[in-house]
C-alpha cells in the first residue's frame, strides 16, 4: 500500500468538494490528463467518471468508479488505467473548520499481481501521491484566493 498525507489549510468540506469534482483532477492529480465524461449521479456509489491518464504524449482512456462516499470524511475509488493499473484509492479527511489532514492511500485491486509488483510500484506510487497532495494543497489555496 502506498500512503501519503498532508495537512491543508481548508476545511474538510472544502477539500471534499474538490475530491468529488472530477473536473478538478487534471489540476492536481499527477498523471490525470483530461476528464471525458461524468455520470449524472456522480458521486453516488457505483457511478463513474471517464478520463485519460498518462505522461507526455502517452495516455490511456479508462474510468474511475465510486466505491464509497462519506461527505467531508472519506472517498473510496476504484481507479483504472488498463492494462497497467487497477487499484483502490482511499481519501480520508480529518479536521476542523480551518484545516484538515488528507490521507491518500492506494493499493492494487488485484492482490496477487499487486503483491508481485508492490516492491517496485509502491515507492513510485507513494511519490506520485505525495506530489498530488502537494498540488491539491496549492489548488485549494488558489481557490481560496479567488473566492
pLDDT 10s per residue in the chain (147 long)? 789 999 999 999 999 999 999 999 999 999 899 999 999 999 999 999 999 888 788 888 889 999 999 999 999 999 987 766 788 999 999 998 899 999 999 988 765 454 555 566 677 788 889 999 999 999 999 987 655
pLDDT on residue 63: 92
Identify the structural domains of the chain with CATH numbers, from first to last. Answer: 2-146 (3.30.530.20)
Task: Assess contact for 34 and 52: CB atoms under 8 A.
Answer: yes
pLDDT on residue 84: 66
Cell representation of residue 107: 493499493
pLDDT on residue 1: 72
pTM: 0.89
Amino acid at each position: 500500500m502506498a500512503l501519503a498525507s498532508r495537512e491543508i489549510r481548508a476545511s474538510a468540506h472544502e477539500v471534499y468538494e474538490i475530491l468529488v469534482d472530477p473536473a478538478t483532477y487534471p489540476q492536481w492529480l499527477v498523471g490525470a490528463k483530461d476528464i471525458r465524461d461524468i455520470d449524472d449521479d456522480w458521486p453516488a456509489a457505483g457511478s463513474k467518471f471517464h478520463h485519460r491518464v498518462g505522461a507526455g504524449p502517452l495516455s490511456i482512456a479508462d474510468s474511475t468508479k465510486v466505491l464509497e462516499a462519506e461527505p467531508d470524511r472519506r472517498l473510496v475509488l476504484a481507479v483504472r488505467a488498463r492494462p497497467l493499473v487497477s487499484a483502490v484509492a482511499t481519501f480520508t479527511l480529518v479536521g476542523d473548520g480551518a484545516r484538515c489532514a488528507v490521507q491518500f492511500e492506494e493499493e492494487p485491486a488485484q492482490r496477487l499481481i499487486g503483491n508481485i509488483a508492490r516492491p517496485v510500484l509502491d515507492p513510485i506510487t507513494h511519490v506520485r501521491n505525495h506530489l498530488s497532495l502537494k498540488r491539491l494543497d496549492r489548488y485549494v489555496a488558489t481557490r481560496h484566493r479567488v473566492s
